[in-house]
Amino acid sequence: MAKKNYEVDISEVRCRSCGVCWDVCPTKVLSWKAPLNKAIVQELSACTGCKLCEWLCPDFAIVVRAEGVPRFATPIPEPPRGAI
Amino acid sequence: MTTPIAKQETARPNPMTNLDELAAQYGVVPNAHFRYCPGCGLGMAQSALMRAFQRLQLDMSQVAGAGGSGCYSIMGHYLNMGILHGSHGRGCAMATGMKLANPKLKVVNLQGDGDLLSIGGNHFIHAARRNIDITVVMFNNFGYGDTGGQYGATTPKGSYTETSPYGMPEDPFDPCKLAVGAGATFVARSTVYHAVHLTKVLAEAIAWKGFSFVEVLQHCHVLWGKRNGMPKASDMLNYYKENSVHHTPRLTEEEQEGKFVLGVLHKKARPEFCEEYEKVRKLAQEKGRGYGLSPLQTGSAT
Amino acid sequence: MRRLMMGAESICEGGIAAGVRFYAGYPITPATEVAEFMSARLPQVGGTYVQMEDELGSFSACLGASAAGVKAMTASAGPGIALQQNEIGQAIAGEIPCVLVNVGRHGPGIGNATGSAQMEVMQAKYGPNGDCPMIALSPSTVEEGFWLTLKCVELAERFRTVTILLTEGLLALQRAVVDLPEDYSKLEVHARPRPANGDYENPYMATSITAVPPMVDFGQGPRSIYRTGGIQPQHGQVQTRFEAQDFSTRRLNLKVESARDELILVDKHQVEDAEVLYISFGTQIHPALEAMRIARERGVKAGCLRLVTLWPFPDDVVREVAANCRAVVVPEMNLGQVRGLVTQALAGSGIRIAGVNHVNSLTITPEEILATTQEVLA
């Protein structure tokens, strides 16, 4: 069976750097980036589409999309930059 | 050789539905951050609840929530359902009134551990006893989070909190055993770490006809966790992972000792209160104990 | 329909006539009978009676039922009412209609449970935390219990607030012959306000500081959020947190206060030429009326003002009616709660105010009122 590809969309504004996603990812797809330690994708090819990061993100900042699945018509709203 | 049965074309919900689609249908996400601390288990529980609603394909206009005061109380606002965001502890009583008034509503009562078991304990045990068809989801973060992290009825003995600076001196409840003792017909426990398990358990509880209770172990790493050596959300998720054991009928006492026992712990149907009360109505209308009033007033005039 | 009926039953019938189909209660002397009648009558008319585990649960269940679209009512007394103050305040803040029947009994504390009193006048308004509005009506006969309960339900629905039927053990437990309508469906009872266009999700869309926002029940519209503790800013305006709190608290009070004219109900007896005025309410109007009759026979020009509405307190009516009096006597079964309010209303008028105060479960006698009249006119 051919390996499936996944896209990992992370909303930098929604992310609040809690660290759960990169700790829980079984294949180390995710990491963080200075200065605010927001989550980023470091190795997309390792993603198996398990969605643990998406399900466990408390801020609804991550959407893992299987190849060919488009973004939904209405995206998850983002707070204005700098909002608390 | 038997003829293969044609595969049924059913609209089975896709459990891997993307969050943007789920949130559009089952949630109400504001253009602001959720009012939880970063990393809070409530955000994870909220996600699981949405997936549970999807799993059941609920008509959200007929879902009504009840809740009290606490960190979790804003959750009702982030879910696409009506909610009575009421006073501290009265969730089960309000939910009882809501369900009796309109039995077609699916009533989901969201409460915290302090809210449900302390100030709301009386309403909890009686709603369980009545077996009214509501689902009580209790977010157990080991104390009172919203007021700063004081200890509560589920705080582990010896742990440090805002009001137990020398260690919690009391023994906690086991909320699930309490629920079973009070007569709850469906009792389950899960944690926010076990995302798939939690979704399934919540869905089963909501679909259950009768009083269903789900204890959701939901970490508060900012208050309880930090004071007890687990300052990061991931630390507490690990804690749940390492200290949980899945319920089976053959689980021994030693295997359970000091662990969170997850799963559907009790499931035994008995007559549901709204149905029982419908029988009372029929009886009242037949017998017409109208204290001498005319048939027009007893409502049984034909 | 004409028959002998207990006050509690008449109150129960008043609720049912007004459309109450949910009662959650807890036994407490002397309000238990209301619950008992409701437990028998409500299932007959398709309603629900549930006995909750305490008074707090009772009121909360009523809130839940009301938010789900069913008119709800509960009755309690003394200690039970004191327990419910949190929930009463929550209902007022959440603008969820509910009727509370307070069957007055002797206190404080447990007091004499089977003794009557009128000790919760001030508590009705100032019991819950915060600045709350209150509508409280007090019946003085068993038959009036029916009509005032009906009115309480109507006002609760119309103003989206809690209304209190302030009654007494003496009235709830007495039996009298009443004349009640045969067919309740012919009574016109105001319903709760609904949104004009039929559906929206916010049950707090108040557009002005005296507005009663339209209400949407659970299951009716897309999504209604009831916040019993929240601050509800003015709809359509951008307000700071502080402006929103100010607007919210004032509106809750003004929505009731601005309708004073129609909420104030009083009964006047021979007040036009009165030189001494008896101001009374509830069951204690009867000794006052008798005292008035005897006084008139003796040549003393006495008049009676019966307060049907206790809250909002009719201080303007009191001022107007007592304007030409020399003295006012307030007979009440408490240590002077209404006398205090009357004194406030008549401040600066020079009118002498005296009270006849019973806190012994026994009703006031006309002789005592006359004795006080003599003292105060001397």
Among the partner-chain residues A17, A23, A79, the one whose CB lies closest to the CB of B31 is: A79
Touch between chain A and chain C (3+ CB pairs, < 8 Å)? no
Q: Where are the domains of chain A?
A: 6-66
Q: Which residues of B touch A14 (CB under 8 A)?
A: 33
Among the partner-chain residues C13, C64, C184, the one whose CB lies closest to the CB of B84 is: C64
pTM, two decimal places: 0.92
Query: Tell me, what's the pLDDT at C284?
Result: 97
Which residue, B299, B265, B78, A4, is CA-closest to C185?
Answer: B299
Touch between chain B and chain C (3+ CB pairs, < 8 Å)? yes
* Pairwise pLDDT comparison (B147 vs A84), residue with the higher score: B147
Confidence band, pLDDT 50/70/90 cuts, at residue B286? confident
Instruction: Report CB contact under 8 Å: A18, B16.
Output: no
Instruction: Report CB contact under 8 Å: A59, B38.
Output: yes
What percent of chain B is predicted at pLDDT more than 70? 91
Q: Is the pLDDT of residue B291 over 60?
A: no
Confidence band, pLDDT 50/70/90 cuts, at residue B302? very low
Q: Is the pLDDT of residue B273 over 90?
A: yes
Distance from CA of B280 to the nearest CA of A (A): 45
Instruction: Report CB contact under 8 Å: B20, A72.
Output: yes
Could you tell me if A44 lies within 8 Å of chain B, comparing CB atoms?
no
Residues 6 or more apart whose Cβ sits within 8 Å of residue B125: B178, B182, C53
Test the A interface: residue of B31, B196, B230 with most A CBs within 10 Å: B31
Query: Tell me, what's the pLDDT at B301?
Result: 37
Query: Tell me, what's the pLDDT at B295?
Result: 52
Test the B interface: residue of C223, C228, C232 with most B CBs within 10 Å: C223
Instruction: Report CB contact under 8 Å: B16, A75.
Output: no
Q: Which residues of B touch A72 (CB under 8 A)?
A: 18, 20-21, 24
Distance from CA of A1 to the nearest CA of B (A): 19
Neighbours of chain C (3+ CB pairs under 8 A): B
Q: Which residues of A touch B19 (CB under 8 A)?
A: 54, 60, 62-63, 76
**Tens-digit pLDDT profile for residues A14-34:** 999 999 999 999 999 999 999
Q: Is the pLDDT of residue A78 over 80?
A: yes
**Tens-digit pLDDT profile for residues C202-259:** 778 888 999 999 888 898 877 888 888 778 888 888 888 999 999 999 999 999 999 9
CATH assignment of B34-270, among 2.30.30.90, 3.40.50.970, 1.10.10.10, 3.40.50.20:
3.40.50.970
What percent of chain C is predicted at pLDDT more than 70? 99
What is the three-class DSSP state of B189? Answer: strand
The chain-wide mean pLDDT, for chain A, equals: 93
d(CA C294, CA C271): 15
**Tens-digit pLDDT profile for residues C37-74:** 999 999 999 999 999 999 999 999 999 999 999 999 99
Q: Is the pLDDT of residue C34 over 90?
A: yes
C60 vs B15, B95, C101, C202, C357, CA distance in Å? 37, 9, 15, 21, 35
Q: Is the pLDDT of residue C289 over 90?
A: yes
Report the CATH number of the A6-66 domain.
Answer: 3.30.70.20
Confidence band, pLDDT 50/70/90 cuts, at residue C311? very high
Q: Which residues of C touch B64 (CB under 8 A)?
A: 67-68, 218-219
Distance from CA of B298 to the nearest CA of A (A): 53
In A, minimum Cα distance to B237 occurs at: A20
**Tens-digit pLDDT profile for residues B197-243:** 999 999 999 999 999 999 999 999 999 999 999 999 999 999 999 99
The chain-wide mean pLDDT, for chain B, equals: 91
The DSSP code for A74 is S
Query: Which class would CATH give C265-377?
Result: alpha beta
Q: Which residues of B touch C67 (CB under 8 A)?
A: 64, 84, 94, 98
**Tens-digit pLDDT profile for residues B29-87:** 999 999 999 999 999 999 999 999 999 999 999 999 999 889 999 999 999 999 998 88
Confidence band, pLDDT 50/70/90 cuts, at residue B300? very low
d(CA A64, CA A54): 7
Among the partner-chain residues C41, C185, C226, the one whose CB lies closest to the CB of B85 is: C226
Assigned superfamily of C2-186 = Thiamin diphosphate (ThDP)-binding fold, Pyr/PP domains (3.40.50.970)
Q: Which residues of A touch B239 (CB under 8 A)?
A: none
Secondary structure in 3-state letters for chain C = CEEEEEHHHHHHHHHHHCCCCEEEECCCCCCHHHHHHHHHHHHHCCCEEEECCCHHHHHHHHHHHHHCCCCEEEEECHHHHHHCHHHHHHHHHHCCCEEEEEEEECCCCCCCCCCECCCCHHHHHHCCCCCCCCEEECCCCHHHHHHHHHHHHHHHHHHCCEEEEEEEHHHHCCEEEEECCCCHHHCCCCCCCCCCCCCCCCCCCCCCCCCCCCCCCCCCCCCCEEECCCCCCCCCCCCCHHHHHHHHHHHHHHHHHCCHHHHCCEEEECCCCCCEEEEECHHHHHHHHHHHHHHHHCCCCEEEEEECEEECCCHHHHHHHHCCCCEEEEEECCCCHHHHHHHHHCCCCCCEEEEEECCCCCCCCHHHHHHHHHHHHC
Mean per-residue pLDDT, B115-128 = 96
Q: Which residues of A touch B232 (CB under 8 A)?
A: 18-19, 23
Instruction: Report CB contact under 8 Å: C60, B101.
Output: no
| Dihedral sign of CA atoms C28, C29, C32, C34 in order | negative
Mean per-residue pLDDT, B95-112 = 97
Which residue, C220, C187, C181, is CA-closest to C203?
Answer: C220
Domain with CATH 3.40.50.920 in chain C: 265-377
Query: Tell me, what's the pLDDT at B299?
Result: 43
Q: Is the pLDDT of residue C75 over 50?
A: yes
Query: Tell me, what's the pLDDT at C138?
Result: 98
Residues 6 or more apart whose Cβ sits within 8 Å of residue C292: C269, C270, C278, C302, C303, C304
Instruction: Report CB contact under 8 Å: A56, B24.
Output: no
Neighbours of chain A (3+ CB pairs under 8 A): B
Test the C interface: residue of B98, B134, B279, B289 with most C CBs within 10 Å: B98
